[in-house]
Amino acid sequence: MSRNLFRAAQSTFRHSASRPTSIASFQQFHNTSPKMTVHNIQTAEAFKEAVQQNKVVLLDCFATWCGPCKAIAPILANHSNEEEFKDVFFAKIDVDDLPELSQELGITAMPTFMVFKDGNLVPAEKLVGANPNALVSMLKKHA
């Protein structure tokens, strides 16, 4: 009896696997805005240009070897896709690749998040550490 039941289940599985179901073939389209992104800044000039060209810039100062930086990076990427923060330019710099800029900005620990507003190269706010709740509060305050 159990052998026949097993064969029947195999046969049903084979047939359903080879035919697309109405749910599987249904394509869902969403009316959403294009995905934002976290821009990887490669030079000090590119950083200054980004600050001057955008009303609000959130800068993530990270290092590739930094565990907390790796942990908060996907959270930051998710926030860059939220409609609430569509007017914020999300950027990041690797402090090891841009040591002069890191020193100029006064980076002493990673990750450090800074908000720049209205083309001003002096940060409006600074957050040190991988604190997702404080990051969201800072974003909401300046968005």
For residue 99, is the peptide bond before it cis, meaning its omega torsion is within 30 degrees of 0?
Answer: no
69 part of the active site: yes
CA distance 68 to 126: 17
Map residue 113 onto helix, strand or coil.
strand
Q: What is the pLDDT of residues 83-137, one digit of tens each?
A: 999 999 999 999 999 999 999 999 999 999 999 999 999 999 999 999 999 999 9
Domain residue limits at 130: 38-142
In a domain, 135, yes or no: yes
Among the listed residues 56, 61, 63, 69, the single catalytic one is 69
Map residue 3 onto helix, strand or coil.
helix
Q: What is the pLDDT of residues 22-43, one digit of tens each?
A: 444 444 444 444 466 999 999 9
CATH at 132: 3.40.30.10
pTM of the model: 0.75
In a domain, 3, yes or no: no
61 part of the active site: no
Look at the chain and report how many structural domains it folds into. 1
